[in-house]
Chain A
Amino acid sequence: AQTVTQSQPEMSVQEAETVTLSCTYDTSESDYYLFWYKQPPSRQMILVIRQEAYKQQNATENRFSVNFQKAAKSFSLKISDSQLGDAAMYFCAFTSGTYKYIFGTGTRLKVLA
């Protein structure tokens, strides 16, 4: 069975510093997609970044970047220059294109002023 594991229930970071959120997954598929979603207190799910497994280059979106290690089945999210607005729950998600998406249990990120 495919699984997604986020082993950090909560993380804290000082404003303007860098933080890395961890995600590991398990699959026997070779072609799949990985996502990081942000859920602020408003409850809205917002896509932060997306990675296709066939692409070796790590995805980057402004201050957000991933470290995708396919062999290790690891997909961590790095947030640079953290801002107060980055405080939220972050979910790692996986799909292999079978129409089913698997989400991790989430990491709550606190940003300290």
Chain B
Amino acid sequence: NAGVTQTPKFQVLKTGQSMTLQCAQDMNHEYMSWYRQDPGMGLRLIHYSVGAGITDQGEVPNGYNVSRSTTEDFPLRLLSAAPSQTSVYFCASSNLGRKRSHEQYFGPGTRLTVT
């Protein structure tokens, strides 16, 4: 099992550019989520999904779009990058079955810099 994978690991964007951060998991988890990590602020939830075709907003959704067309993939789109979106982004997944542990499995993160 690869677990949760994220690409790219590092990215530099210019203000106004768009891009997609990729996230995939091979554990057949229904729940997937995106966080951003900023110094002194911990991890903040951007968007999450409880299954294919179902997404919802987290704490800081503005400037980001998501979609979930398959169980495995949950891409995060930055429509028009801004310097305030410079951060480390984590994708995570969790099972929602009857024996749900509520534990999240995290990807390795993507460090994004917007200049």
Stretch touching chain A among B19-27, B69-77, B98-106: B98-106
A16 at the interface (CB under 8 A from B): no
Say yes or no: B56 contacts A99, CB within 8 Å.
yes
Residues of B within 8 A of A35 (CB): 102-103
> Which B residues have a C-beta under 8 Å from some C-beta of A?
31, 33, 35, 40-45, 48, 50, 56, 58-59, 88, 90, 92, 101-104, 106, 108-109
For residue A38, give the distance in angstroms from its CB to the closest CB of chain B.
Answer: 11
Say yes or no: A101 contacts B33, CB within 8 Å.
yes
7 new A-B contacts, CB < 8 A, other than A93-B43, A100-B59, A106-B42, are A42-B108, A43-B88, A47-B104, A97-B102, A103-B42, A103-B44, A105-B42
A76 at the interface (CB under 8 A from B): no
Tell me the bound Cα distance from A9 to B40 in angstroms.
Answer: 8
Say yes or no: A45 contacts B45, CB within 8 Å.
no
Tell me the bound Cα distance from A47 to B50 in angstroms.
Answer: 21
Q: With A43-B88, A43-B108, A44-B108 in contact, is A103–B102 under 8 Å at CB?
A: no
Residues of B within 8 A of A42 (CB): 108
Say yes or no: A45 contacts B103, CB within 8 Å.
no
A64 at the interface (CB under 8 A from B): no
Residue from B42, B45, B92 whose CB has the most chain A CB atoms within 10 Å: B42
Chain A residue with Cβ nearest B90: A45
Chain A residue with Cβ nearest B9: A43
A91 at the interface (CB under 8 A from B): yes
Q: With A43-B88, A43-B108, A99-B31 in contact, is A50–B101 under 8 Å at CB?
A: yes
